[in-house]
Amino acid sequence: MTTLNDFSRCVAQYDPHALPVSAAQAIVRQWATPVAAIERVALRDALDRVLAADIVSPIDVPAHDNSAMDGYAFNRAALASGERSGTASVVELTVAGKALAGHPFAGRVAANQCVRVMTGACMPDDCDTVVPQELVERDSADSIAIRFAANALTAGANRRRAGEDLARGHVALRAGRIVRASDLGLLASLGIGEVSVRRRLRVAFFSTGDELRSLGEPLDAGSVYDSNRYTLFGMLRRLNVDTLDLGVVRDEPAALEAALHSAAANADVVLTSGGVSVGEADFTKQLLQTFGDVAFWSLAMRPGRPLAFGRVWSGAQPGEGRPALFFGLPGNPVAVMVTFYQIVREALLLMAGATPRPLPVIHATSRAALGKRAGRTEFQRGVAEQDAHGHWHVTPTGSQSSGVLSSMSEANCFIALGHDEGDIAAGERVSIMLFDGLI
Ligand code: AMP
Ligand code: MG
């Protein structure tokens, strides 16, 4: 068995004491294997699920050439035959019939004729161009002659071609796609009522710490309410994974070990918070070194320095029973969120079978000076807004301490300061990652 330690050491820039974020992401990516199981679901139930196979279009959409406008369909040859009237050439045609969406015109159309067409109606045979009704003179609604200026449109105008939206036999959606609202409509337009999706990823999580109290319990001296489980629940739900909340586990090796085994037995991924630094009550580390395959990292990142990553098993020995990927997140509430988005999120998407795209980064001008140490990536919390010219500006939230969760609620973006960057002066450009769509 290749162990995580062997593997990690082969990654460029590997340094367990100050591991660059990009190196940690690269290691994690390699260990995130997609769940294999696939299920068939009805179209509506596919929303936010991950497609397990390419969707190949069984038909052309639209199925026929059709009109893009309300107007009159005719053959392009008529454009050249227009009579000169003053400086403009005027085309005159007689109306041979009409076609509505769902009610095609079945007859032939001669060179001097046209067919009244409504948007979406099949193009009659012999016709390839549509003149919109706004450009047409028609003496009265039942007059059979129409006139329009030939130079008002080009041959082939206002015709939608069969297969222009999706061509039969082409891949309409790729495996790994997380199904969105537009995709539901697109699948329906192909006549597809059921799709294959990956089974949902199962993620178990618990908090560690003797000081943690659950909601409803009184707060005695030195204790705090457990907030991490709620943040984790929210972040996981947004990714549409199944969650298994295992509560608070005390800083006792036996309790921790039992919780880890049970989490591995029931989930694909186990997330914990707290207990991964070097304090006296940080048992997660000692414990996992004996029965997991876990690398402990000190990430060159702030917040979120201590992080454990690896595998745990449901059985008593490494390699025994069911394996699960393990992330031991730091205890500080902001660090939990930052490590989740920067390290865990992509792994969960990959394991769910999705093809994750990098988070969009935009540039903004900092309204304040930002303290930043070169040699680590920082994710400060900021409030970004766009000015009247469309430029983004960002102001850091007051406290940047990793224990101050209100900074995350106040902020609408991370200010992402790269590994090599130093202090930022007010007015300098920085990269930001907006929370919209992420959190
Ligand atoms: P630790 O890494 O376990 O030493 O935790 C670091 C800090 O985060 C301590 O101040 C903990 O009290 C706090 N902390 C740990 N877990 C949680 C949690 N689940 N909810 C709120 N605060 C926590
Ligand atoms: Mg602790």
Residue, of 398 and 286, whose pLDDT is higher: 398
The closest residue, in CA terms, to atom 23 on ligand 1 is 331
The verdict on 254 and 339 lying in the same domain is: yes
In-domain check, residue 427: yes
User: What residues have a C-beta under 5 A from ligand 2, the ion?
Assistant: 209, 274-275, 331
Place of tokens 């100050």: 18
pLDDT reported for residue 86: 64
pLDDT reported for residue 223: 97
The verdict on 301 and 242 lying in the same domain is: yes
| Local structure of residue 49 (DSSP, 8 states) | P
pTM of the model: 0.89
pLDDT reported for residue 277: 82
Report the alpha-carbon distance of residue 255 to residue 199 in Å, rounded: 30
Ligand nearest to the CA of 226: 1
> Mind listing the pLDDT tens digit for each residue in 293-337?
888 788 999 998 899 999 999 998 888 999 999 999 999 999 999
Report the alpha-carbon distance of residue 307 to residue 223 in Å, rounded: 23
Which residue among 224, 249, 334 is best mutated to probe the pocket of ligand 1, counting the most ligand atoms within 8 A of its Cβ? 224
- End position of a domain, from candidates 351, 381, 402: 351
Residue 366 belongs to a domain with what CATH number?
A: 2.40.340.10
Contacts of 179 (CB under 8 A, 6+ apart): 46, 47, 48, 49, 50, 51, 173, 187, 195, 197
Asked if residues 79 and 92 have their Cβ atoms less than 8 Å apart, the reply is no
Ligand nearest to the CA of 308: 1
> Mind listing the pLDDT tens digit for each residue in 64-98?
999 999 999 999 999 987 766 666 789 999 999 99
The verdict on 222 and 338 lying in the same domain is: yes
What percentage of the chain exceeds 90 in pLDDT?
Answer: 80
Residue 129 Cβ inside 6 Å of ligand 1? The answer reads no
- What distance in angstroms lies between residue 239's CA and the mean position of ligand 2's atoms? 27
Q: Is the dihedral of CA 355, 356, 358, 362 positive or negative?
A: positive
pLDDT at 143 over 90: no
> Mind listing the pLDDT tens digit for each residue in 189-223?
999 999 999 999 999 999 999 999 999 999 999 99
pLDDT at 284 over 90: no
Q: How far is CA 369 from CA 285, 372, 422, 427, 430, in A?
A: 37, 10, 11, 8, 11
Place of tokens 């696939």: 38
In-domain check, residue 78: yes
pLDDT at 281 over 80: no
In-domain check, residue 125: yes
The verdict on 23 and 154 lying in the same domain is: no
pLDDT reported for residue 297: 83
pLDDT reported for residue 287: 81
- For the chain, give the mean pLDDT: 93
Report the alpha-carbon distance of residue 226 to residue 194 in Å, rounded: 41
Q: How far is CA 65 from CA 83, 112, 160, 162, 384, in A?
A: 29, 21, 6, 5, 47
Which residue among 219, 332, 402 is best mutated to probe the pocket of ligand 1, counting the most ligand atoms within 8 A of its Cβ? 332
What's the structural domain count of the chain? 4
pLDDT reported for residue 358: 86
- End position of a domain, from candidates 312, 328, 351: 351
pLDDT reported for residue 12: 65
What percentage of the chain exceeds 70 in pLDDT?
Answer: 97
Asked if residues 396 and 368 have their Cβ atoms less than 8 Å apart, the reply is yes
The verdict on 386 and 309 lying in the same domain is: no
- What distance in angstroms lies between residue 338's CA and the mean position of ligand 1's atoms? 14
Split at pLDDT 50, 70, 90, the class of 1 is: low
- End position of a domain, from candidates 320, 351, 382: 351
Split at pLDDT 50, 70, 90, the class of 111 is: very high
Q: Distance of alpha carbon 53 from its chain centroid, rounded?
A: 18
Asked if residues 237 and 88 have their Cβ atoms less than 8 Å apart, the reply is no
The verdict on 265 and 152 lying in the same domain is: no
The verdict on 226 and 344 lying in the same domain is: yes
- The parent domain of residue 427 ranges over 362-434
pLDDT reported for residue 211: 96
> Mind listing the pLDDT tens digit for each residue in 15-32?
777 899 999 999 999 999
The verdict on 112 and 245 lying in the same domain is: no
The verdict on 251 and 140 lying in the same domain is: no
pLDDT reported for residue 361: 95
| Out of 12-16, 31-35, 399-403, 408-412, least confident range | 12-16
The verdict on 326 and 263 lying in the same domain is: yes
- What distance in angstroms lies between residue 207's CA and the mean position of ligand 2's atoms? 9
Residue 209 Cβ inside 6 Å of ligand 1? The answer reads yes
In-domain check, residue 54: yes
> Mind listing the pLDDT tens digit for each residue in 405-435?
999 999 999 999 999 999 999 999 999 999 9
The verdict on 203 and 326 lying in the same domain is: yes
- Across the range 4-24, mean pLDDT stands at 78
In-domain check, residue 217: yes
Ligand nearest to the CA of 272: 1
The verdict on 220 and 347 lying in the same domain is: yes
Residue 12 belongs to a domain with what CATH number?
A: 3.40.980.10
For residue 314 the two structure tokens come to 């449901």
* The Cα angle at residue 312 between residues 307 and 314, in degrees rounded to 5: 150
- 305-319, 376-390, 396-410, range with greatest mean pLDDT: 376-390
In-domain check, residue 166: no
Helix axes 283-291, 253-266, angle to 10 degrees: 60
Residue 342 Cβ inside 6 Å of ligand 1? The answer reads no
The closest residue, in CA terms, to atom 15 on ligand 1 is 331
In-domain check, residue 356: no
In-domain check, residue 357: no
Residue 55 belongs to a domain with what CATH number?
A: 3.90.105.10
Residue, of 287 and 56, whose pLDDT is higher: 56
